[in-house]
Structure 1
Amino acid sequence: MRRAGLTADLVTRAAADLADEVGLAGVTVSAVARHFGVKDASLYSHVRGLSDLRVRIALLAATEFADLLAPAVAGRSGRDALVAFADTYRDYARAHPGRYAAMQQPIDPAVSAPAGSLRGIELIYGMLRGYGLDEPDTTDAVRLLRSTLHGFVDLECRGGFNDPRDTEASWRRVLAALDVLLTHWREALSA
């Protein structure tokens, strides 16, 4: 029997909030149950277990991120779109570290349809159309962007930049360098 007031969505949101507070590794079914003042078993009618809960957090995060990303890049192209995309990416990761960590885990498409993930991917591909890239260059550019942005944000959030150089200034330089590379992609790779 389902506990009155609990839903899969409510459980997922509580788990996502907990992930942002204590890290994704700190999210357990027991911790979420304690949040609601119920026994673990009360949650199993809403989620199948810890891995299901983590997938749900990832899907929620992907949807939230896509919802922020769409208006940020709408009507923009080239460098303006790249900067809007990257700033939204960084802001989301810093504001929601647990959700962001959940988004990095692979999700089996057979288990769940990651609509938010697909929307986010469509948005990044759309943003890159402004650079005139065709396949396979677009996929390579997506991988470059994701790995560069993730690497920077991950290091920043873990305190990995101990140099006195302003992190914001470095971020802006990274984005400018990415814009130059994307603008001159064909020439850079044919040399």
Structure 2
Amino acid sequence: MSPRIGLDRNRLLDVAIEIANQDGIHAVTMATLAKRLNIRPPSLYNHIDGLPALRNELALYGLEQLHSVMVEATTEKEGDDVISAISFAYLKFTRTHPGLYEATLYAPDNRDPKVEQAGNKIVELALNSLNHFQLDKDDAIHTVRGLRSILHGFSSLEQSGGFGIPINSDKSLDFIIKSYLKGIKNSTD
């Protein structure tokens, strides 16, 4: 069977991202994708090797996009401002691409070299943003894990409606990041 005219891998991924952002990553199935594209599910296999491959593609694309917005946010920033910029870029990404972000967490095969490399680029960016603290290697990893936990936890709570008190959540994140940075400084004194 030949590929449908007007349908290519990029269009397929764009529609999968739309579904994920609207309804969550678990709503992205071959059946829902085919229905949205107005084709029969078997036709999708001309472009993708099944749902695990599709989710892997979404994870890879999501990680690349997240890295890109984080790098862009750090332009002309130094010291603590880099970490703050990375944090707000991360949060903005999760707000504007909730399903794509979710895809980055549920890659079917985290051992895929491309997915692993894309994830490692984000870790390296975070590690480099901490250079001014002069942490040893293990402490730097602990610090990045802590930052990721803050950002993922904050994003997840926000998306699930967990912040019901009417106080600006950006101000909350700013307060949390500043407190976290103070804690890092105190631990290195």
Q: Do both proteins adopt the same fold according to a TM-score greater than 0.5, normalized to the shorter chain?
A: yes
What amino acid maps onto 2:165 in structure 1?
A: D
Residue 25 of structure 1 and its aligned partner are, at CA, apart by 1.4
| Structure 1, unpaired ranges of 5+ | none
Q: Secondary structure of 1:56's match? A: helix
| Cα distance between partner residues in 1 of 2:68 and 2:151 | 19
1:118 CA drift (Å): 2.7
Which amino acid in the other structure matches residue 46 of structure 1? H
Other-structure match for 1:4: 5
Tell me by how many angstroms 1:106 deviates. 4.6
Relative distance call for 1:185 and 1:75 in structure 2 (3 A) is: farther
Q: CA RMSD in A?
A: 1.7
**Is the 1:64–1:116 contact (alpha carbons within 8 Å) kept by the matching residues of 2?**
no
What's the counterpart of residue 185 of structure 1?
Answer: 187
Query: What secondary structure sits across from 1:113 in the alignment?
Result: helix
**How many residues matched?**
187
Residues 159 and 170 (structure 1), Cα distance of their counterparts in 2 relative to 1, 3 Å cut: same
Q: Tell me by how many angstroms 1:112 deviates.
A: 4.5
Q: Aligned-pair distance for 1:154?
A: 0.6
User: Which residue identity does 1:103 align to in structure 2?
Assistant: T
Indicate the larger mover: 68-77 or 111-120. 111-120
Alignment of 1:13-162 (within 5 A): 13-106=14-107, 108-114=109-115, 115-162=117-164
Deviation at 1:169, TM superposition (A): 2.4
Q: Deviations over 1:28-54 (max 9, x none)?
A: 111111222111111112112112211
Q: Distance in 1 between matches of 2:31 and 2:141?
A: 40
Q: One-letter code of the match for 2:39?
A: V
Quick one: which amino acid aligns to residue 75 of structure 2? A
What is the identity percentage for the equivalent residue pairs of Structure 1 and Structure 2? 28
Task: State TM-score, norm by structure 1.
Answer: 0.89
